[in-house]
Structure 1
Amino acid sequence: MTDAVIVAARRTPIATRGRALASVDVSSLAAAVVSQVRADGRDVDGVLPDVADVVLGNVMGPGGNPARIAALAAGLGVSVPGVTVDRQCGSGLAAIIDAAVAVRADGRIRIAGGAESASTAPVRSAGGVPYARAPFAPAGFADPDMVAAAEDLARHDRIDRERQDAHAARSHTRAQAARAAGRFAEEIVPVAGAAEDEAPGGIGRILSRLPPQFPEGSVTAGTSTRVSDGAAVVLLAPHGPGLVVRAHAVVGCDPALPGIGAAPAVQAVLNQAGIGENDVAAFEIVEAFAAQSLAVLDRLGIDDDDPRVCADGGALAIGHPWGASGAVAIVRLFSRMVRAGVPAGTLGIAAASVGGGMGVAALVEVVR
């Protein structure tokens, strides 16, 4: 069977809702990086790759198939279709997995990833009554708001406030160090005058002073990721240097504790590959909340401060553009492994927990 190799990976800066990218709609965010990864895929003669499809994750956009709109806006031509995937916070990674399956099936190149513009997302309503989100589960199942779900998980797993604060501070510290060292520069495509993430500095000094989101609770604004705008995409080909997708999984879990979903998804890809977590050199696990991230690490037997996990900071520091975050995790692995020049055969895992009680994960390997 043909391989599916990620040969190029880019993202926009990630901005807090209503700030630097507030005027850029979801398809325009995606188009900027779709155009760039296609350009990155030029052959030695400068010929652009022939793209068979564009597969993009999106959660709260306007409909109308943003992937197809982005493909047209990026100049791919009217013959290149597009499909938009909604697996909530795992959408971007799920889209890359879907594209990898398609590349393995027919050997044709795909562009895949995710995009989210929380700033321009339409107000939705049912019977004239606005609502924040659609249900994640039907009547008879738990369907907690994500902040409440994080608080429930913190209580269920006895993850205290001090540990959550320390995890968030570590994410910010790592992101600030990575930005200062220029480790984000090559992966970011400037959009609307923004060329850097809006990760705030010095949050570790104020974390302990932030009030809990619920009375008697432990989850705070500082240990919750920010609602964000951004896009991230990759170019998948049947061969070439980059990251080959070796295994992938989507799993279900209890909708009452959706934050744990990444753990069984990661375990599933480890089982598929016949390896253990110690064989993996790099993890990018979407940090929706500190409590959620820690609950996943506990289930995988990974230490809080393991340098393999979100080595340059995660979503707690950089932001969480829902439909894009899983793809951002893959772009980060590409930078940490391919751009950084690690040896062929090195393994990495990207994963996300998903509202409604799901998890998605992919195992990738460096090929030279």
Structure 2
Amino acid sequence: MSAVVVAARRTPIGTAGHAFKGLTCEDLAAPVLAAVAADCAGLGLPVEDVLLGNCMGPGGNVARVSALAAGLGTEVPGATVDRQCGSGLAAVLLGARGVQDGLVLAGGVESASTAPLRTHRGAAEPYGRAPFTPRGHPDPDMGPAAEALAVKYAIGREHQDAYARRSHARALAADFTAEIVPVAGRAADQRPRPLRAGTLARLPAAFVPGGTITAGLSSPVSDGAAVVAILPAASRGGPPGLRLVAGAVVGCDPELPGWGPVPAIERVLRRTGASLGDVAVIELVEAFAAQVLAVTGGLGLDALGADGDRICPGGGSLALGHPWGASGAVVVTRLFTGLVRSGAPRGTLGLAGAAVGGGMGVAALFEVV
């Protein structure tokens, strides 16, 4: 893949039903699309396409609606990508593959607050979610699936509590100003807060009686959007950026969907010949503390020890929130800030990854250019 991310922005992230409870997907995505397009105005390149990940929106091609709402012009098309929690990162990979001689704006958006209720024809009540697998295959909800991962890989409560506290502390200490596009008068993420060890320890199990995963160790349902601008590497000559070295989407056991980033990252590393030791920053969508610790352990990383400084160094979804369709693009935006905006040397590597309901994982390796 020969494409470069040259701009990356996001909204603040709000907990569903709170900060952005009245905003639709296009209300969230349009300001970010407009901001990224403005960031790239000096390049003199047309916007070829808009690709946005989305999981629970109203349909009607959210990407096209958002592109029009952003004022990009009627000639700019759009396509909406659904790979559940990996949708935003999948949209970035598709955008990098498809960009030709202009810019592709790719990312994701989720408005859980305004997502429609869905009802099968003839049914009396809406259903909670669509199935991730067909009948006869495991299809656990994400909380119990994360609990099963914690049991299988012996991820204890104390380690989960410690990881969640660190995620919030890092988010509180981080400066997100350069990447955030204010929306509805809000310019800061809603959720990050100081977490006391005693407070976390008192929380009850949220999904499985006697389990280890609590509400404090789980990412909240959230609203938000994130967008990056991608151009072909052949047209380089502009500002610093992140070259996409390789990406991968893989399937895994649907009974343990949180494991998906492990084989996805391993495939990316095989394709590139890189090792995790070569990677300066690793941004994972933190669905659950147990899930992140299982994945990092499976990759041979010590997330609470020697490797901790490079894993979600500005906090992650546990602190910021998890707007499903957008989170995969949020981690790319975090990489862009952590590497490009911070002035990391050329050749520095960053890794992004996400688990996907139904048993999938998506990952991408980037290089500062």
104, 110, 113: which one pairs with 2:107?
113
210, 218, 225: which one pairs with 2:203?
210
**Displacement after TM superposition at 1:136 (Å):** 0.4
1:316 matches 2:323: no
Contact between 2:171 and 2:192, CA under 8 Å: does it hold in 1? no
1:61 matches 2:53: no
**Displacement after TM superposition at 1:108 (Å):** 2.8
Question: Which digits, 9 at most, give the CA deviation of each residue in 1:337-358, with x for residues without a partner?
Answer: 0000000000001100000000
**Displacement after TM superposition at 1:216 (Å):** 1.1
Question: What is the rounded CA distance, in whole Å, between the counterparts of 1:28 and 1:264 in structure 2?
Answer: 35
Match of 1:224 in 2: 218
Question: What is the rounded CA distance, in whole Å, between the counterparts of 1:296 and 1:200 in structure 2?
Answer: 23
Match of 1:81 in 2: 77
Q: Residue 287 of structure 1 aligns to a residue in which SS?
A: coil
Q: Residue 41 of structure 2 aligns to a residue in which SS?
A: coil
- The code of the aligned residue for 2:310 comes to R
Match of 2:86 in 1: 90
Question: What is the rounded CA distance, in whole Å, between the counterparts of 1:332 and 1:114 in structure 2?
Answer: 14
Q: Residue 123 of structure 1 aligns to a residue in which SS?
A: coil
1:195 matches 2:187: yes
Match of 2:256 in 1: 257
Question: Which digits, 9 at most, give the CA deviation of each residue in 1:147-183, with x for residues without a partner?
Answer: 11011111111111111111111111111111xxxx2
Question: What is the rounded CA distance, in whole Å, between the counterparts of 1:273 and 1:86 in structure 2?
Answer: 27
Contact between 1:30 and 1:70, CA under 8 Å: does it hold in 2? yes
Question: What is the rounded CA distance, in whole Å, between the counterparts of 2:275 and 2:353 in structure 1?
Answer: 16
CA RMSD across the alignment: 1.1
- 4+ runs deviating over 3 angstroms: none
Question: Which digits, 9 at most, give the CA deviation of each residue in 1:298-343, with x for residues without a partner?
Answer: 1111112211010010100000000000000000000000000000
Question: What is the rounded CA distance, in whole Å, between the counterparts of 1:42 and 1:108 in structure 2?
Answer: 12
**Displacement after TM superposition at 1:203 (Å):** 1.9
Contact between 2:89 and 2:107, CA under 8 Å: does it hold in 1? yes
Question: What is the rounded CA distance, in whole Å, between the counterparts of 1:201 and 1:23 in structure 2?
Answer: 24
Match of 1:237 in 2: 231
Question: What is the rounded CA distance, in whole Å, between the counterparts of 1:294 and 1:114 in structure 2?
Answer: 25
Match of 2:177 in 1: 185
Question: What is the rounded CA distance, in whole Å, between the counterparts of 1:270 and 1:204 in structure 2?
Answer: 37
Question: What is the rounded CA distance, in whole Å, between the counterparts of 1:9 and 1:198 in structure 2?
Answer: 20
Q: Residue 291 of structure 1 aligns to a residue in which SS?
A: helix
**Displacement after TM superposition at 1:139 (Å):** 1.0
The 5 Å alignment of 1:277-356 reads 277-305=276-304, 306-356=308-358
Identify unmatched segments of 5+ residues in structure 2.
none
Q: Residue 111 of structure 1 aligns to a residue in which SS?
A: strand
Question: What is the rounded CA distance, in whole Å, between the counterparts of 1:211 and 1:200 in structure 2?
Answer: 20
Question: What is the rounded CA distance, in whole Å, between the counterparts of 1:200 and 1:362 in structure 2?
Answer: 26
Question: Which digits, 9 at most, give the CA deviation of each residue in 1:68-93, with x for residues without a partner?
Answer: 00110111111110000000000000
Match of 1:159 in 2: 155
Q: Residue 90 of structure 1 aligns to a residue in which SS?
A: helix
Q: Residue 10 of structure 1 aligns to a residue in which SS?
A: strand
**Displacement after TM superposition at 1:200 (Å):** 3.3
Question: What is the rounded CA distance, in whole Å, between the counterparts of 2:51 and 2:79 in structure 1?
Answer: 5
1:169 matches 2:168: no
Question: What is the rounded CA distance, in whole Å, between the counterparts of 2:272 and 2:361 in structure 1?
Answer: 18
Q: How many residues align?
A: 357
Contact between 1:91 and 1:323, CA under 8 Å: does it hold in 2? yes
Contact between 1:21 and 1:194, CA under 8 Å: does it hold in 2? no
1:28 matches 2:20: no
- The 10-residue stretch of structure 1 (161-170 or 86-95) with the greater mean CA deviation from structure 2: 161-170
Identify unmatched segments of 5+ residues in structure 1.
none
Q: Residue 13 of structure 1 aligns to a residue in which SS?
A: coil
- The 10-residue stretch of structure 1 (319-328 or 236-245) with the greater mean CA deviation from structure 2: 236-245
- The code of the aligned residue for 2:200 comes to L
- The 10-residue stretch of structure 1 (52-61 or 155-164) with the greater mean CA deviation from structure 2: 155-164
Contact between 1:114 and 1:327, CA under 8 Å: does it hold in 2? yes
Question: What is the rounded CA distance, in whole Å, between the counterparts of 1:250 and 1:312 in structure 2?
Answer: 25
Q: Residue 126 of structure 2 aligns to a residue in which SS?
A: strand
1:18 matches 2:20: no
Question: What is the rounded CA distance, in whole Å, between the counterparts of 2:325 and 2:161 in structure 1?
Answer: 26
Question: What is the rounded CA distance, in whole Å, between the counterparts of 1:316 and 1:31 in structure 2?
Answer: 25
